[in-house]
Amino acid sequence: MSVKKILLPAIALLAICLVATTLLALTNQVTAGRIEKIAQETENAARSAVYPEAASFSDAKTVSSYTYYEALDAGGSVIGYTFTTSAKGYGGDVSVMTGVRADGSVRAIEILDVSDETPGLGQNAKQDKFKAQFADKQGEIGVSTASKSAENGIDALTGATYTSRGVTDAVNLALKLYAQIPKGGAVNG
C-alpha cells in the first residue's frame, strides 16, 4: 500500500472535519442569542401561566442554587412563588415550572420540557388533565399506578410511569425549595 493511498483520504477526512466543525461553531455563535431569548420567553410565559393573577414578578432570587421568582399582586405584596426544577424522566430530564401559593400548596404547574420522553406517552405530561392533578397539593406528592395507590398522589400517565414520577419529583423539589424560604422572601443561608 502506498503512502499516497493512505495520505490523501486522511487529508480529505481532516479537511471535512475542520470545515464541519467550523460551520457548527459559527451556527452556534449565530443562534445562541436567539435560543437564549426563546428560552427566556418560554419561562416568562410559563410563569404567567402558573400565576395568571400576578400583576408582576420579582427579580430572580436564589435558594439552594435554584432560581425562583415571587408572584406579586398590584400592590407589590407576595401572593406566591414560581420555581423551575427538573428531574429524571424516562428518556432524560423533564423540566417543570411550579407555582406555589404562600400557604405552600401548588397553584399550578407548566411543563417546560419533556422533549426526550416518548411521543404519545410521556409527552402527554403536557396535557391539561395531567397537570391539573397537582393543583392544591401540599407536602410530598406521590404517584398512583394501576398496581399501587399513593396517598396525596396523582394518577400516572398510562404507559409513562417514569415520566409521571419525573414530573412529580420536580414538583416535590419545588415544594422543598419553597419550605426553605422564610416569610418575607429572605433566603436561608
- Could you report the per-residue pLDDT of 30-52, keeping only the tens digit for each? 898 888 898 888 889 999 999 99
- Could you report the per-residue pLDDT of 112-128, keeping only the tens digit for each? 999 889 998 999 999 99
The residues facing 62 across adjacent strands are 67
Say yes or no to pLDDT of 105 above 90: yes
**Containing structural domain, residue 140:** 1-189
Question: Three-state DSSP class for 23?
Answer: helix
Q: How far is CA 94 from CA 3, 52, 86, 90, 146, in A?
A: 52, 23, 5, 9, 23
pLDDT band at 4 (very low <50, low <70, confident <90, very high): confident
* DSSP character at residue 3: H
Amino acid found at 86: S
pLDDT band at 2 (very low <50, low <70, confident <90, very high): confident
DSSP calls for 108-173: EEEEEE-TTSPTTTGGGGGSHHHHHTTTT--S--EEEBTTB--TTEEEPBTTBHHHHHHHHHHHHH
Q: How far apart are CA 134 and CA 144, in angstroms?
A: 13
Number of domains in the chain: 1
Q: pTM for the full model?
A: 0.80
Query: Which helix or strand (DSSP H or E) is residue 79 part of?
Result: strand 78-88
